[in-house]
Homo-oligomer: A and B are copies of this chain.
Amino acid sequence: MSTERRSTRQRAALIEALGTSLRFRSAQEIHADLRDAGSPIGLATVYRNLQNLAADGEVDQVRAEDGEVRYRACGSGHHHHHLVCRGCGRTIELTAPDVERWSEALGAEHGFTNVQHTLEVTGTCARCS
């Protein structure tokens, strides 16, 4: 899905806003932050661009417990997981080769193909406890 997207002021502002944050944030939070930072942008545009960026692999998205989707520009463009503080949102990227192998093997063992998985870890970071 390599896409040629037009460069707009809004898209640039969104990418910059993402780049400067270490936390996962919802579309609405990001929208408010952009507004506060003096970059007027429509909410629908935030949603659209976040989805495009996610589809293009530029940002990660996770679904919070309450069902809201949160976005973050992660350092690695490759498959990884997250350890997220439930207090402050501080996020640490994790790789879990054992889990990758484990899920693949279990899928195969049960005759499943095209095996995917989701894995997220949460806790309270040192500063927050």
Known: A83-B107, A83-B110, A107-B121. 8 other contacts (CB 8 A): A63-B63, A94-B106, A96-B102, A107-B123, A114-B124, A114-B129, A115-B123, A117-B121
Interchain CA distance A16-B102 in the complex, whole Å: 34
Interchain CA distance A122-B119 in the complex, whole Å: 12
A115 shortest CB reach to chain B, Å: 4
Interface residues of A (CB under 8 A from B): 63, 67, 69, 83, 85-86, 92, 94, 96, 98-99, 102-103, 106-107, 110-126, 129
Cβ contact within 8 Å between B124 and A113 = yes
Query: Which 9 pairs, one residue from A and one from B, show the smallest C-beta to C-beta distance?
Result: A112-B123, A111-B126, A115-B123, A117-B121, A119-B119, A107-B123, A103-B121, A114-B124, A113-B124
Interchain CA distance A113-B124 in the complex, whole Å: 5
Residues of chain B within 8 A of A99, CB atoms compared: 96, 98-99, 102, 119
